[in-house]
Amino acid sequence: MRAASVVILSLVAASAAVGQPAPSRTVTLPAPRREGAMALEAALWARHSVRALARDTVALADAGQLLWAAQGVNRPNGHRTAPSAGATYPLELYLVASRVSGLPAGIYHYRPASHDLEIVASGDHLAELVDAAVHQPWVKDAAGVIVFTADYGRAGRFGPMAERFVPMDVGFAGENVYLQAAALGLATTFAGSVQDTAAARVLALGAERHALGLMPFGHPR
């Protein structure tokens, strides 16, 4: 168990002992914006991969907007901004935050239904994620990193075709992040060279989830 998890559990136990409410393990994100200053056509024109990131902060609202663009809910029936075969939604997103204003450095799991973040571990783990990214040292300059993981079991009804459909989901969601980043004046690049075992250790993933790629983001340098 991670040291951060032990601290959280200790705080919960201590709070219960003195009759205090347990500290929250979730962070509510600002509501996603439905309108912006940039037209879709302009975002398509502006979209390109950028690896030169400024080592400054990104607003929590912008980080939340990127997550929403990737996998947020956009319909009353719970369906999302990116398509998924059979609406199985095998993707699970994690945010490794280093310099996101209003958000302590840490690892967070994005929950689309409530548009919030579940705390996985506290502290800055960006350097550990850089070690898991193969030959991509520029990741260290990111304000935060969106990590795409997937549970292939959710697409199990498609049999062997799940091996084709799940990566498609990553592609759809990743392009949404690209376009949203362009509209926000942010920079990003999809990094697919990730050591699965190392990333799983950093994120404390269970056996059912697999890391499929990273999207480090920040302001362009």
Q: Do the domain assignments include residue 3?
A: no
Q: How far is CA 144 from the centre of its chain?
A: 9
Tens digit of pLDDT for each residue in 28-80? 999 999 999 999 999 999 999 999 999 999 999 999 999 999 999 999 999 99
pLDDT given for residue 24 in this prediction: 72
Task: Tell me the C-alpha to C-alpha distance, in Å, between residue 100 and each of 39, 41, 79, 106, 109.
Answer: 26, 28, 27, 10, 15
Exposure class string for 135-161: b at 16+ Cβ within 10 A, else e: ebebbbbbbbbbbbbbbbebbeebeee
Domain count, the chain: 1
pLDDT given for residue 135 in this prediction: 87
Structural domain of residue 29, as residue ranges? 25-218
CATH number at 194 reads: 3.40.109.10
DSSP strand E in the chain: where? Answer: 26-28, 58-59, 91-97, 100-101, 106-111, 116-122, 144-150, 187-188, 210-218
Q: Do the domain assignments include residue 209?
A: yes
Mean pLDDT to the nearest integer, 72-90: 97
pLDDT given for residue 3 in this prediction: 39
Cα-Cα-Cα-Cα torsion 220, 67, 81, 196, nearest 10 degrees, comes to 100
Q: Do the domain assignments include residue 188?
A: yes
Tens digit of pLDDT for each residue in 179-216? 999 999 999 999 999 998 999 999 999 899 999 999 99
pLDDT given for residue 41 in this prediction: 97
Q: Do the domain assignments include residue 2?
A: no
Q: What's the pTM?
A: 0.88
Q: Do the domain assignments include residue 20?
A: no
Cα-Cα-Cα-Cα torsion 206, 91, 144, 113, nearest 10 degrees, comes to -100
CB 103, CB 63: distance < 8 Å: yes
Q: Do the domain assignments include residue 47?
A: yes
- Could you give the CA distance from residue 96 to residue 123 in angstroms, rounded to a whole number? 10
Q: Please, which pLDDT band fits residue 15 given cuts at 50, 70 and 90? A: very low
Q: Do the domain assignments include residue 8?
A: no
Exposure class string for 89-126: b at 16+ Cβ within 10 A, else e: bbbbbbbbbbbbeebebbbbbbbbeebbbebbbbeebb
Across the chain, mean pLDDT equals 90
Q: Do the domain assignments include residue 12?
A: no
pLDDT given for residue 102 in this prediction: 95
